[in-house]
Structure 1
C-alpha cells in the first residue's frame, strides 16, 4: 500500500512538472541548487516513465484514437513525450519520411518541417524552432519530440495521467491538408519504371511498383515481377493477363515478394524455394472514384494501383486518346479497363487542352507505367480526372512488415478473395481451425473486409476438438475498418498454443449493405480458377451458435489466416 501511495505521489508531481514544461514555465536551469523550489528530482521521471510506458500511452487526436501497438507513443527517461514517425501519417494526416537515413521531412498542406537525426532544431517553412529533445532512432523506429508536432502543425496537448492518455487538438486555421499538386518525382519517392515487354504482366508490374513506392524513400528495392507472375497459386501463363486480386493473394500468402536479382524478368524461368524478403500484412481497396482517398493514400503512404483502358500495348504504339507530345491520356469511351498503372501524384490545374480529346475540366493524376522510359516522360504520364476508368479500382499496399515480425503463417486460402459467402444479411461468423506447431504463441489474425466501414470481433479457442467448442470462445480483439481490403489484427496479449493441438480463430464480422460479408476461396469456372479446398477446416455460422463446415456444404475455404511467433525466440529477444 505504501508503494502505491509513493507511486501516486510521484505521478502527481510528474503531471504538474509536465504541464509546467509544456507551458515553457519549467526548465532544469530554473531550479537552483539549495532552492526551496527544487522539489523535483530528475530520477523521478525515469521511474514514472517506465510505469507509464509499461501500461502503454493512448493517443487521441481531435477525439479519435490513433494508438498502434507496433508504434507506441512513449515518455523518455527525461520526461519528454516522444512520438514514432509512422504514427504521424494516420494521426495527423502528415506526410513523414526519412531521407538518406537521417533527415525527417514532414509535409501537410502548405507546411514543410525538417529535422536531422540527433538534432534539436526543427525547421518549419524555413524558420528554426528549438526542441527539448532530438530526433532519435531506437529499435528501427525514429522518435520525434511531440512538441515538434505541436510547433509545426498547430496542436495543443492535454495529458491525462490517470487515464494514461495524451489528447491533441488542432488549433490552427488550415482546413485542408492536401496540396493542389504533388509529384513523387519531386518528393524523392518515385519508383523506378520498368518494361513488361510483350507479356501480359502489367498487373504484376503495377502491384510491385506500388509496393516499392510504399517503402520509399527509406528503402529502395526492386521486386521480381517474374516471380509474382510465375510462382503464384493461379498457374496462369504470363500472356494470360491478371488482376490485383492475384497480386493480393500472392503477397498475403507470403509467396513473395522476392528481389528482382533473385528472379530476373523475361527468361520464362522462375527458381523454386525463394523466400519473401518482407511480409505484406495489409492491402486496402479504396472506394471507387473517391479522389480525395486516392490522393490521401499517395500523399501519406504509397502509390495507388489503378486501371485504365488503352488500345496501345507498348509505348511505341499510338492512340487517338493519347497526346504523345504532352504525355497526356484521356479515354471517354465504353471499353472496360485492360491495363494497370500506378498513381504517384496529381495536379488539380493540369490543363485540359493538353489532352488529344479535351475533357470537361482541368486536373489529372500523375501515373507510372510499365512500358519503359521511352513512353511518356521517361515512363510517367498524366491521366485526366475525367477518364472513365481511372480511379474505379484502387489498391494501396498499406502495411509492410519485416519478414521476421511473425515466424509462422497458418492459412488455407492461397488464391485469396475469390468470392463471398453469407446469410443474406450484413453480419456473419466464420472460423478456421489449425494444428499448432511446437513452442508457438498466437499473436495476430488476418482477414478481408469485403466492404467499407466493416466492424469485427476476433475470438480464439485453444484445445479445439469439435465445432461445439466454437461457442466457448474468448475475445482477443475488436475494431472497425474504414476501407475494404485485407487487414492483420495484432493481439494485445499473445496466446500460448499447446504443441500439436488444434486451435480455432473466429471472426464476427459486420459489413454495412452487404448480404455476403465473408471472403472465400472456391473453384471459379468464370475465372478459370481451380482452388485447393482440401487443405482447410473452416466454419460459418448465422449467430455464432450452430456451425456448418464450409468445405463440405459450400465447397470453399474461408479467408482467415493466423500468425504465430516462436516462444523461445521471443524469450531470447527479451533477454
Structure 2
C-alpha cells in the first residue's frame, strides 16, 4: 500500500549552516523528519572567469577506507606517470568547473588504460544550461557552475563527447538540443568518489584514479610572484569576493618549501598539492601550480561543495540500456529522522526505490548504481515486482546483491545477469547504518534556489518514479513533497540499473524476416522522414547499424553496403 506522509519536516542542509522548518497539519504522535545533505551552494561566483559556486557546507565524511600516511610516497605526480592530458584554456567563460571535470575524466581513462582522449568541455558546459522546457541547471553557457554538476552528466551517460565532435566555443548561442546531435558517449561513469579534506584519502584517490576535481580561491593576493604557488591562510568573512575557481589536483610534494609561497603570507609547514589549471600556458610550469596543504579553501566543502574523482566507467554500446529517472545526479542526499515531541534520532534503516519500465530484450540486469553518503553502512539491492499498479511487499522481492557502502559517492554494484520481468518493476536499495551509527541516505535531485529566492536547478519529475519504504509502508516521493510542502516539483532518487541486450536482432534486418533487403532500407528512410517511426527495441537496435546510438543516413548507407556485400552484418 502506498501511503501519504503528512507531518512536520525539518530540512537540514548538512552542507549548509541554515535550517528551514516547515509545518504541516498532523495528528501523528510519531513524525518522520527528512534531512537532506546539499551538494551545491546558493550563490555563484561573481567573476565569470572563476565560475565555481560558493556555498556553506559541512564535510561529507570519511571515504576510501583506512590507509596510513606512511604507506604513501612523499612525492607523486600523475603528470610524471603520463596520466594527465594537455593543459587547456577556458578563455573568458565561467567554465572552469567543466574543464576540471573533463580533466579528471581524461586522467581516469589514461590511468585505467582506456587511452588518451580529448573530451569536450563544450558539450558538458551546454548540457548544464537551462533546457527549452525550463528544467535543468538555471544558467547560461557563459555563467559559472556548480562542483557537483558534472557527476550528473557523467553518471547519466549524457557525456562525455569528443572534442573533435564538439569543439570548445562551437556551440555559442545554440540550444543544447542542437549541440547534442553531435557525437556519442563512449564511456559512461558508473562510480565516483566524493572527498573531503582527508589528505590520505585524497592522495590515494590521485594515485588510483589520476586526478581529483576541486576548487580554491584564486584571488591574486594569495599568489606568489611568478604565479606558480598560492596559499590562503583563512576563510574570508562572509560576503567577501573569493573568486572560486575549479581545478584538477594531480599530485603532491610533502617537501615543497613553504618559502616558495607569497612572502606576505606563508604556510607554517612545507608541503603542497600539484594542480592542473585551465588558463593555458600562463606561467613557468606550463599551466600547473602548487597549493599549500594548509590552504583554507582547497577541498573545503563548507565553501565550494564537493571534490571528487572518477572511480569506474563502462564502455557504452548499443547493446546496453541505462534505466534512470534523473539525469542531473545528486543535489542532496535524503534521509529520515523520527520525531516524537522532539527529534529522537535518525532512521538508521531505510529502503529507497525507483520504478522503471523494463523493456523486452533489455531486461537482463548487469549493474545497479546508487549515490550515498552512508559510507560503512550495509546495503542490499532488490528487484521489486509490481502488482495492480503498486510495488509489492518485501516477501516477494528478489535480492540482487549486498555489501558495504565502500566510500562516499556513486556506487557501482555488479549483478550476474539477473533476468527481470518485462514491464513495470522497481530497483530498491536498502541501507542499514545501525552498526556504524552514521547516516542512512541516498542521493536525490531536488530543486535548488539561492538564499534570495532565485532558482538554481529544476529537476524533471513525474508521479510514480521514486519511493521510500519505512515500517513496511511505501511513500511516493512526488506526493510526499506536494502533501508536505505544497511543492509540485519534488525529486527523484539517484538509483540506476544497467541492462544488456538479450534479443536476436541482426543489424540491418529491420523487419526481422531473416534477410537484409531494400525493404529494410525503405523502413529506415521512412523512419527518418517520420512517416513510419521505428519504435520497438529490436527494430531500433537493428536500425542502428553503425552503433552510434542514432538512426540516421549513415545507417542507410551501412545497410546498402551489406546488401552490396561490401560489409558483413553483425548480430
TM-score range, shorter chain: 0.5 to 0.7
Which of 519, 536, 540 is the equivalent residue of 2:468? 540
Q: Tell me how far apart the structure 2 counterparts of residues 282 and 229 of structure 1 sit (CA, whole Å).
A: 21
Q: How many residues align?
A: 394
Task: Give runs of aligned pairs for residues 86-105 of structure 1, distance below 5 A.
Answer: none
**Aligned position for 2:477:** 550
**Aligned position for 1:567:** 502
| CA deviation map 1:254-291 (0-9, x unaligned) | 110000111111231462324211111111102x2111
Contact (CA 8 Å) 1:248, 1:416: kept in 2 or not? Answer: yes
Which of 220, 224, 233 is the equivalent residue of 1:332? 233
Which of the two has higher C-alpha Rg? 1
**Aligned position for 1:62:** none
Q: Could you tell which deviates more after superposition, 519-528 or 363-372?
A: 519-528
The structure, 1 or 2, with the larger RCO (C-alpha pairs under 8 Å, 6+ apart) is 2
Q: Tell me how far apart the structure 1 counterparts of residues 166 and 98 of structure 2 sit (CA, whole Å).
A: 14
| Cα 1:445–1:470 shift into 2, 3 Å | farther
Shift of 1:354: 0.3
Q: Could you tell which deviates more after superposition, 394-403 or 452-461?
A: 452-461
Shift of 1:328: 0.8
Which of 351, 356, 361 is the equivalent residue of 1:434? 356
Shift of 1:461: 2.3
Which of 238, 248, 272 is the equivalent residue of 1:364? 272
Shift of 1:452: 2.5
When the two structures are superposed, what TM-score results if normalisation uses the length of structure 1? 0.64
In the alignment, structure 1 residue 343 sits paired with structure 2 residue 246: no
| CA deviation map 1:483-512 (0-9, x unaligned) | 211112111x3222333x111111101355
What secondary structure, in the 3-state scheme, does the structure 2 residue paired with 1:296 have?
Answer: helix
Contact (CA 8 Å) 1:522, 1:530: kept in 2 or not? Answer: yes
**Aligned-residue CA RMSD (Å):** 2.8
Task: Give runs of aligned pairs for residues 65-464 of structure 1, distance below 5 A.
Answer: 176-216=70-110, 218=113, 219-232=115-128, 233-234=136-137, 236-267=139-170, 268=172, 269=174, 271-274=179-182, 275-286=184-195, 288-311=196-219, 319-325=220-226, 327-335=228-236, 338-356=244-262, 357-375=265-283, 377-392=285-300, 393-404=306-317, 407-424=320-337, 425=346, 426-440=348-362, 441-462=364-385, 464=387
| Cα 1:551–1:439 shift into 2, 3 Å | same
Contact (CA 8 Å) 1:310, 1:339: kept in 2 or not? Answer: yes
Q: Tell me how far apart the structure 2 counterparts of residues 289 and 447 of structure 1 sit (CA, whole Å).
A: 23
**Aligned position for 2:549:** none
Contact (CA 8 Å) 1:463, 1:498: kept in 2 or not? Answer: no
Which of 471, 475, 488 is the equivalent residue of 2:399? 475
In the alignment, structure 1 residue 508 sits paired with structure 2 residue 430: yes
In the alignment, structure 1 residue 489 sits paired with structure 2 residue 395: no
Q: Tell me how far apart the structure 2 counterparts of residues 243 and 265 of structure 1 sit (CA, whole Å).
A: 19
* Residue ranges of structure 1 left out of the alignment (5+ in a row): 1-89, 94-173, 312-318
Contact (CA 8 Å) 1:184, 1:345: kept in 2 or not? Answer: yes
| Cα 1:416–1:569 shift into 2, 3 Å | farther
Contact (CA 8 Å) 1:307, 1:337: kept in 2 or not? Answer: no
* Residue ranges of structure 2 left out of the alignment (5+ in a row): 1-63, 129-135, 237-241, 301-305, 338-345, 482-489, 508-570
Contact (CA 8 Å) 1:294, 1:394: kept in 2 or not? Answer: no
**Aligned position for 2:342:** none
What secondary structure, in the 3-state scheme, does the structure 1 residue paired with 2:123 have?
Answer: helix
What secondary structure, in the 3-state scheme, does the structure 2 residue paired with 1:279 have?
Answer: strand
